[in-house]
Structure 1
Amino acid sequence: MERFAWPKFLSSKRKRAIQDLLPAQNPKKKLANLFDAHSQTSNDTGQHPFAEHLVVNILESFSNTLSLSSSDQSNEVVQVPSNACVRKTSNIGTRLDQNLIDGGHRRRSSDQKSVLNSMLPNNFPSDTSVIINRLLEDSESIRSKQSLMEAAAAISEDRTDVAWEILTRLSVSRNPKGIYSEQKLMEYMLSALKSRMSPVDNPPPVAELFTEDHLLSAQSLYDLSPCFELGFMAANRAILEAASEQPSTNKLHVIDFDIDIGLEGGYLDLLYALSTRQADNQSTLKITTLADSFNGEERLRMVGDRLSEHAARMGVRLVFNVVSQKLSELSRDSLGCEADEVLAVKLAFKLYRMLDESVSVENPRDELLWRVKGLAPQVVTLVEQEMNGNTAPFKVRVEEALAYYGALLASIQPEFWRAESERARVEEGLSRRLRNSVACEGRDRVERCEVFGKWRARMEMAGFELKPLGQYGVESMKKMVGWCPGHTVKEENGGVCFGWRDRTLTVASSWR
């Protein structure tokens, strides 16, 4: 094994411990191979060449080594009073605890970085320190997530003292130099778990999810994230395919149950496609949407006016109707359906916010699907987020939220910097969503996402049959996402999945 110089601050005991912890593994060679792989793939941001288990094991070995051998160098840092680690009731004691935690974290990080540096060849690139910092940040992020899951387990088992201890430790030991999206994720989840434990002192968001600010944050998210934008496009493509199956009519009627998620409602590409397909007869697009306590008639008509302007420029005749009805009153007549038009129903990010049988005996989620089935549409499009956050146990919900929102924040991070105000708006909206999903129960939990398998079962129970999107449509969206490094498109179980790296974020599907 090639020899190298140990850092000067390491005692002989630490050196022996490191050697014992990594027997016959030649860590220098393995790290060098990893860094070589990084240098060969550094231009591909979608690649993550590091073997995570190896990195974590090595760094954990360093942490254990430093802990085991700290006794022989206790005088190097500070002489700690014998009672310094007990729970403090004064502000002075709290500051002492925090200083000890922060100082210990800095010392461990410095020691780990020095050991890693010592294992690299002398001719290694000068940017190696950047790679090492990233390794340490990844390791710190993994440990933080593990601690959050431990806190979630303690909460679910009603061990409040343990949970508060973990959350307090995480609050004072957060690393401000970590990856931006990971910082935000930790911040959101810490706030969510504190709201879960103490909703009076840390009120979780409920009414805030129905405000103008939250609506604007959703619009910005859908504009920034290809996963949401492509979900709307997949729904529109399914509607166009249904219309093309009836060439005898140029009338298309779309019933949209939540059009106000964006000012244009995701209809611009549909209008453009209709304008290119019409020959001698002008195409007619009729959109019917339902007013409710939040999306009133005046607000929806403003959306219709904007869409009418776009339709006029594209040469498409647009009829925009707003109706005010209870769910039990929905019918073809009340919605103005005509026999000579292709009828489509659009359910985009609507069902997950409706209560189901686990909360309400009325089960409005299933009732809406039964009412839609009664309209006999040629196609129903469903677009939803892919997260097991409805009836899953609390610990699973926390784990799902960490994975889902972590991927979502990472996926839109490159776009965050184009506008500070837009970035802040999106972040606030995502924070509200995560906190509501984790901290609330019953009717207060508005965020009730499901995975596609559950949506599929619910749609089939309502009498719908899956209608896979054509291969041409899937391939065209794969080409479009090629302009967005790290984003993915795949067809799975009849749905079109849009994601970030190995995590699916949204799924679009078509039904009849």
Structure 2
Amino acid sequence: MMQFTTSVPLLPPIGPDGLSLLLEEDDAPKPSLGGSWPWRGRLLASPKTLGSFNTASCMEQLLIHFANAIESNDATLAQQILWVLNNIAPPDGDCNQRLTSAFLRALVARASRTGSCKILTAVAARADAELALHLHRFSAIDLANFIDLTPWHRFGYAAANAAIAEAVEGLPLVHIVDLSTTHCMQMPTLIDLLANRPEGPPFIRLTVSGLTTTAAPPILNMTYDELGSRLVNFARSRNVAMEFVVIPTDPSDAFVSLIEQLRVQQLVSEGEALIVNCQMLLHYIPEETVGVIASTTNVSPPMLSLRTLFLKALRSLGPTLVTVVDEDADFTACDVVRRLRSAFNYLWIPYDAVDTFLPKGSEQRRWYEAGVGWKIENVIAEEGVQRVERLERKGRWAQRMRATGFRSVRFTEEAAGEVKSMLDEHAAGWGMKRDEEDLMLTWKGHNVVFATAWLPA
């Protein structure tokens, strides 16, 4: 269980009446969190009473009140809610408790990093020292096996690969630009697919973005030069000729260096089919709410976001196909409470799903939940350029794509069939649905990851 009480003595915890007041979910006006609450100093909450509040909705409400207390520097309320959450949400509990524990840790870290609720600084320092996220460094083989455990990434791989294979049918030169957070783990399957074409495999030029400014998991324990050498050898074993190129990029410049290098490569290599495969990486490009970046970036016109500017530049290259796969959530709100609500109501999914494929206490489960915890901490505890997890929903990305000169492509029944076959290898809770022309991965009916494909209009 997380223990935040060592360095700072807590005030008497909230009594049951106080918890009931906190957890009212109606829209009636409530007292200011900085004001005088009638339950302060009342009866201590018993373990039995605390257990009655151990539901996802109650824990979400308590987290929201804890966030508000931190932001308003209400130390008394913050410490009391901290005591309650610390007792009802152990980090080794059920999926809702582990989810809540991760958000609690992120909020305590926020108090330390933003300087809000200064009385919790010592608590945060202690928590950071004891509960630092130890992200695993994967070998290429371990990462490939790890990704195969869940369709979270495999869904996008399967959908994009099917669309790419159809788009380059019969073309002898294919230039694939892989913008991915999973270090080219999609590529072996795509190479296999292209190697088995009836007309024979194409020559493949694979360009990757050497993203260096975010330490987002999963982390690879080798350089991209080593990874590229392995991929080239793998392609050779499938009788596919391939060239591997790494372009250093930084999301804060909206991958400007990537676009310029691609433009140069196009001048050198005419006749290539340019495929841009975007797998859960575009949301690292800062969006409109990062005012500090928008005000210091010399771009024109200034009203366009860096995401829109990148897509416009991408469209100018005349790509044969662009695939965009990402998580269907919105983490762009300026205030932490709205981000907390959105993240809590989306990130319960990986905690719920992991119980179906990894046993409690397993090493791989620790790696998996540490990665989710990193995302939660970045969304909640960080601000400005450090907050890189800025997801947008499918509809917003579709608006951006259409506004910058792309039109959507419907996934064929063959592509949908490939995705469904892949999902059959996983737990029954995973599903797929068509969303207009696109595909959506679901968990127990809830949207998880979208897959879209785009052509120049």
Query: Which TM-score bucket, shorter chain as reference?
Result: 0.7 to 0.9
Q: Distance in 1 between matches of 2:56 and 2:107?
A: 17
Q: Equivalent of 2:64, from 145, 149, 154?
A: 149
Q: Distance in 2 between matches of 1:187 and 1:307?
A: 39
**Could you tell me which residue of structure 1 aligns to residue 112 of structure 2?**
198
Q: Equivalent of 2:328, from 386, 390, 396?
A: 386
Tell me the amino acid that sits aligned with residue 96 of structure 2.
Answer: E
Is 1:268 aligned to 2:188, yes or no? yes
**Could you tell me which residue of structure 1 aligns to residue 308 of structure 2?**
366
Q: Which has the higher helix share?
A: 1
**Could you tell me which residue of structure 2 aligns to residue 42 of structure 1?**
none
- Residues 368/184 of structure 1: CA separation in 2 closer, same or farther (3 Å cut): same
Q: Distance in 2 between matches of 1:209 and 1:277?
A: 44
Deviation, structure 1 residue 369: 1.5
**Could you tell me which residue of structure 1 aligns to residue 432 of structure 2?**
489
**Could you tell me which residue of structure 2 aligns to residue 480 of structure 1?**
422
* Number of residue-to-residue matches in the alignment: 382
Is 1:257 aligned to 2:199, yes or no? no
| Structural RMSD (CA) | 3.6
Deviation, structure 1 residue 395: 2.3
- Residues 219/412 of structure 1: CA separation in 2 closer, same or farther (3 Å cut): farther
Is 1:322 aligned to 2:277, yes or no? no
Q: Map of 1:288-367 to 2, 5 A cutoff?
A: 288-293=207-212, 299-324=223-248, 326-327=257-258, 329-334=260-265, 338-359=269-290, 360-361=293-294, 362=297, 363-367=305-309
**Could you tell me which residue of structure 2 aligns to residue 172 of structure 1?**
87
**CA deviations over 1:144-175 (Å, ceiling 9, x no partner):** 23322333354566655434422222113446
**CA deviations over 1:34-70 (Å, ceiling 9, x no partner):** xxxxxxxxxxxxxxxxxxxxxxxxxx9xx99xxxxxx
Q: SS at the partner of 1:411?
A: helix
C-alpha contact 1:242 1:378 (8 A) present in aligned 2: yes
C-alpha contact 1:257 1:346 (8 A) present in aligned 2: yes
Q: Equivalent of 1:162, from 57, 77, 84?
A: 77
Is 1:451 aligned to 2:393, yes or no? yes
Deviation, structure 1 residue 265: 2.7
C-alpha contact 2:55 2:96 (8 A) present in aligned 1: no
Tell me the amino acid that sits aligned with residue 196 of structure 2.
Answer: T
**Could you tell me which residue of structure 2 aligns to residue 423 of structure 1?**
365
Q: Distance in 2 between matches of 1:476 and 1:219?
A: 19
Q: Map of 1:80-119 to 2, 5 A cutoff?
A: 86=41, 101=45, 104-106=46-48
Q: SS at the partner of 2:55?
A: helix
Q: Distance in 2 between matches of 1:440 and 1:213?
A: 23
Tell me the amino acid that sits aligned with residue 155 of structure 2.
Answer: L
Worse-matched range after superposition: 364-373 or 146-155: 146-155
Q: Distance in 1 between matches of 2:192 and 2:111?
A: 50
TM-score (norm 1): 0.66
Q: Distance in 2 between matches of 1:316 and 1:369?
A: 30
Q: Map of 1:398-477 to 2, 5 A cutoff?
A: 398-417=340-359, 420-477=362-419
- Residues 164/430 of structure 1: CA separation in 2 closer, same or farther (3 Å cut): same
Q: Distance in 2 between matches of 1:241 and 1:410?
A: 35
Q: Distance in 2 between matches of 1:354 and 1:209?
A: 24
Q: Which has the higher strand share?
A: 2
Q: Percent identity?
A: 23
Tell me the amino acid that sits aligned with residue 261 of structure 1.
Answer: T
Q: Equivalent of 2:102, from 181, 188, 200?
A: 188
Q: SS at the partner of 1:257?
A: strand
Deviation, structure 1 residue 452: 0.7
- Residues 495/268 of structure 1: CA separation in 2 closer, same or farther (3 Å cut): same
Deviation, structure 1 residue 337: 6.2
C-alpha contact 2:134 2:370 (8 A) present in aligned 1: no
Deviation, structure 1 residue 508: 1.1
Could you tell me which runs of 5 or more consecutive residues in structure 2 were left unpaired when the two chains were aligned: 1-15, 21-39, 116-120, 215-219, 250-256, 298-304
Q: Distance in 2 between matches of 1:493 and 1:210?
A: 40
Deviation, structure 1 residue 461: 2.0
Question: Higher Cα Rg: structure 1 or 2?
Answer: 1
- Residues 278/339 of structure 1: CA separation in 2 closer, same or farther (3 Å cut): farther
Deviation, structure 1 residue 355: 1.0
**CA deviations over 1:398-457 (Å, ceiling 9, x no partner):** 112112211112112222229822221222121111011012221121111111111111
Q: SS at the partner of 1:290?
A: strand
Tell me the amino acid that sits aligned with residue 86 of structure 2.
Answer: S
Deviation, structure 1 residue 277: 0.9
